[in-house]
Structure 1
């Protein structure tokens, strides 16, 4: 289809816009026929009898000048009054064209200044050969091939003017040569022309005369042309599109908005044009370059906030239903199995994403965001804590945004319930990694909230309240256990002058946790007393002295606490750091040898030592 092909050519920055008088009619400027009538009305009755009113505009103006004794002054005055001194009714269509940075060159036969004014300094007009050497490549070039009223000598309107313009031996032909150089490498869009105008036929002939059969395509936009005129265009090798100029420009902008991001991705459009179009539509794009290409790094709103619309259709899914109904808050990811349609457009209508994205991630928006201080009965306090509140008819959720993760308090309101208080459910989500300090803060807060003690909440702004919290035994025991582990890690870190990196509690065994707790508390208190039935096994070299010492251990009258030193210093890997803990020392209270008879009778050299009172102490000796 010619229209779709033209859209692609324009989006590829491969089209020159050639604008005629019809494009300015909406602003109140005259058509060619109306301009003829304006000029005729300037003649006296006697002068009108000497001129054929049916002449084409070029011949009519030629005769007008003849009647004025070859003076162009009166004709220029008419043009000034009609085009230069006139205030347009509106400039909407030209402003729309100026918002399309894909047009780098515009050629016009119009005398008005609608294009120059619409571009607001982003263009330069060219109507004389002396302008050609000074063209600014960063601006849109507007070739006014019928001249500009700022220079009356440049105006082309009479038949003689046309003949002079196209004569190859005149200096002004440099301007036409420059125009031909442009159209030789670009497709041409004719907009605002009526095939009844003789000057457009002259232009077509001159273009065909100057270019080979290998020239690019040409397109002609006009509404409801008769078939004879369409056939004439076909003979000239020009595609006809049945639209008004306004309809075409509106459809074109919509087509660019639909494709601009994909065109940039496919390197059809230049980064400058991409940035210019998105900026004019209130988007700010961040582009990064490599040796061979450009890539879009980020998108935001022109003033920081990106406002956009999401249009999507979902297949049936219970989790999604709960999310959209407000039964669940948080983040939900919709993959291609649940997403049958997906489209994201900016507030101005630019398509940013569509089904090619494959998935969609949605996040609940909080009803309010607060900053609070918390004080617990046990003396623990936390200050300037951010809290997000989410609410719907189904539930209320408060999220404490701690550095190590989220603490969630869920309340399910029951409008018909006679219960004086809502039941609150506690849960949490830890970050993948966090510091030891942040972990201690997190589980201190969770332990406080689940302990059943009173908490005072102070809002930044003045209000406060105190509430007795319910005791959540499983959560309290769990959080207290992890808090103990973290606090003992902190003791080890401080004692050995270390700084543990970010970590998590994933894949940590209960045995490791117990060992860390033992080491930390031994460091803190100097020694730990354990009340449990343990046995220490050690192999001895038999001698009379050794046997007597074992006998003395079992003699109540001679028994004293038994201290056992481990030979090797322990090294423990904590958070990927090898920490030299030191040597263990175990003191067994009221010890006895449980297999003394076997040892004495030479049946065993492995001595088993136990405590009569089932008590022992552990101490650490610092590494050398």
Structure 2
């Protein structure tokens, strides 16, 4: 592409934009020649014959100023500009979308850039303006001034003779302009080769900068071979394209390359992120040791659309699922690994996503037909408010995804009416997807109360956030309710344990609900209810029991103790149990042993103070917050 070199310089923020009147023509402003025609009637009659064929705005305004004064010239020009009705500003808007241009220089008198940029640009007409410029905003240098700075307007032939003036009051201003030209490449756009402005500027650049001048590019729709040769002789590269087409092509090039440019540091992060935000893209970045990477990219509003083109083998196992997804037979996302993808391109709001090398898999799902907030009220009075939902629909079925906290409940409803147990209703299939973690017991209880009622086919009503009347449902579910029933009971017990032992369970893995923790929960719940429980399931085992009262070893007490068939012993030390990452002090145990057989009876009667070795069929425990009195 002939523009690739120029585009690459712009992408690396190395180009100053020099904007001419051609950009303003799109908005309805006159060209220099048209403005000259509008000013001709104000020429003094004695000079009209001499300037009859003149199209040079500077000469015409010089003549009028000589006979009628500068204020008259400026007033007439102001009236012409005031009558203009602004039409198309799309070119200026598109330039606004390119933050790579840190400096824009213009010879235009209009304020189109100021209108389009708003507070996002700083106008520089003199050295005083330059002194208060901020580095975080692009600058608009107005070489010819404007009607807000009439003392700076360059309009007449005499004004042009002062170009690049070295007057002390303007020295900083012109030095800043020349610094741009010596450190940045220059892109002229919106100028005609016949424009006196451009000829003066070219000559001044060559005289003032000489060998220090960087590359210069001149964008114009069409010029003659002789004019092309003249540009070459001046060291200027010609780009044959109109301004609108050039800016459109530049935007497409920037959109295609911006992600790579940011990651490869061809553009500053601030400029790259600003470009994405201007195109309503919200990126999330990760700064690794090796390189910067994009963690995610999303649109900043619902109207931002993404486009993914990919190809998989027709006989691939997921090919049928993709077809069914597209045809609306199901609404579940379909995932394909990188090895199974033949080709892949992706974009969002026209921004190319060049992540093919980083893609491990793609996951494609449907866009919801609607989404919002609703309240669900069941037949038994149980209700949940402020639930998020997503609604998917096709001609055969519809699906509601309920998002509660960090979990989702997916209800797929077939449109055909069925009759079950004499009751008419719609066929409902449900799937519950719990988050990896459990964060809050109250939330979990509500989740499973909801799930249990749904799988129990309990009738319910739905109140949408924007609707005054409910939608009634009489579902006929096929799901087994044991899953919901068990988990509801589990979390209700955990809540009881929280209250009794004054603890809180937060962010534990849902996969921790295993046999070991189920036994702990049931045991701790029994403790909260004051129940005894059998600690060991084996009916024949031996227990080492160390009495809490040393007086038991006195011979009379010992004989009496050894004759007993049931023992109740209080333990002095409180016990602790770990459950879901929480250490719970469960209290002081009380041991009850029935059908006692002392294995070391002989040794004890011989005066050996050792723990009692007991053989028994049953050992029962109960726990108390305060040590019980014996």
With the length of structure 1 as denominator, give the TM-score of the two structures: 0.71
Q: Report the Cα offset of residue 515 of structure 1.
A: 6.5
Q: CA deviation at 1:222?
A: 1.1
Distance across 1 between alignment mates of 2:268 and 2:152: 35
Paired position in structure 2 for 1:392: 394
Q: Map 1:547-562 to 2 at 5 A.
A: none
Which of the numbers 526, 529, 541 marks the counterpart of 2:531? 526
- The 8 Å contact of residues 126 and 143 in structure 1, kept in 2 or not, is answered as yes
Deviation at 1:393, TM superposition (A): 3.9
SS in 1 for 2:376: strand
Q: CA deviation at 1:190?
A: 1.6
What is the count of residue pairs matched by the alignment?
575
Identify which of 338, 343, 347 aligns with 1:344: 347
Residue 28 of structure 1 and its aligned partner are, at CA, apart by: 5.2
* Cα-to-partner distance string for 1:177-196 (whole Å, 9 max, x where unaligned): 54323311121112233333
The question of 1:227 aligning with 2:225 is answered: yes
Alpha-carbon distance in 1 for matches of 2:134, 2:509: 60
Partner Cα distance (1:121, 1:519) in 2: 64
Measure the CA separation in 2 of the matches of 1:96 and 1:401. Answer: 39
Q: Map Cα deviations across residues 518-562 of structure 1 (whole Å, 9 max, x no partner).
A: 5644763634699xx97434599xxxx9xx99xx9xxxxxxx9x5
Contact kept in structure 2, 1:84 and 1:149, CA below 8 Å: no
**495, 504, 508: which one aligns with 1:503:** 508
Tell me the distance in 1 between the aligned counterparts of 2:477 and 2:102. Answer: 71
Aligned counterpart, 1:600: none
Q: Which residue of 1 aligns with 2:76?
A: 81
SS of 1:106 mapped into structure 2: strand
Cα displacement string for residues 407-447 of structure 1 (whole angstroms, at most 9, x for unaligned residues) = 55544455799995555445433332224455555555555
Contact 1:373 1:385 in 2 (8 A): no
Higher mean C-alpha displacement, 492-501 vs 417-426: 417-426
Spell out the pairing of 1:89-238 with structure 2 (5 A cutoff): 89=85, 90=87, 92=89, 93-115=91-113, 118-120=116-118, 140-146=138-144, 148=146, 156=154, 160-165=158-163, 176-238=174-236
> In 1, Cα distance between the equivalents of 2:139 and 2:417?
69
How far apart, in 2, do the equivalents of 1:301 and 1:492 lie?
45
Tell me if structure 2 keeps the 8 A contact 1:313–1:341: yes
Change (3 A) 1:371 1:85: same
Distance 1:232 1:225 in 2: 11
**What TM-score, normalized by structure 2, do the two folds share?**
0.70
C-alpha deviations, 1:247-299, integer Å up to 9, x for none? 22232333334444554454444566556555554566789999999998987
Residues 323-343 of structure 1 show CA distances to partners (whole Å, capped at 9, x for unaligned) of 444444355545434553242
The corresponding residue for 2:251 is: 253
- Cα 1:325–1:173, aligned 2, differ >3 Å: closer, same or farther? same
Q: Secondary structure at the match of 1:71?
A: helix
**Matched residues in 1 for 2:76 and 2:307: separation?**
51
Q: How far 1:583 sits from its partner (Å)? A: 4.6
- Residue of structure 1 in register with 2:580 after alignment: 575
In structure 2, do the counterparts of structure 1 residues 479 and 215 end up closer, same or farther at CA, with 3 Å as the change threshold?
same
C-alpha RMSD of matched pairs (Å): 5.3
Structure 1 residues 458 and 148, CA, compared in 2 at 3 Å: closer, same or farther?
closer
Partners of 1:446 and 1:154 in 2: CA distance: 74
Q: Work out whether residues 534 and 621 of structure 2, in 8 Å CA contact, stay in contact via their aligned partners in 1.
A: no
Structure 1: how far apart are the matches of 2:225 and 2:136?
41
Cα distance change on mapping 1:195 and 1:565 into 2, 3 Å:
same
Distance 2:532 2:165 in 1: 110
Deviation of 1:220 (Å): 0.6
Q: C-alpha distance in 2, partners of 1:580/1:516?
A: 12
1:310 matched to which residue of 2? 307
For 2:607, the equivalent position in structure 1 comes to none
SS at match of 1:85: helix
Q: Distance in 2 between matches of 1:539 and 1:98?
A: 83
Structure 1 match to 2:592: 585
* 3-state secondary structure, aligned to 2:18: strand
Q: CA deviation at 1:219?
A: 0.2
Q: Which runs of 5+ in 1 are unaligned?
A: 553-559, 594-605, 611-615
2:376 counterpart of 1:372: yes
Work out the CA distance in 1 between the residues paired with 2:236 and 2:397.
66
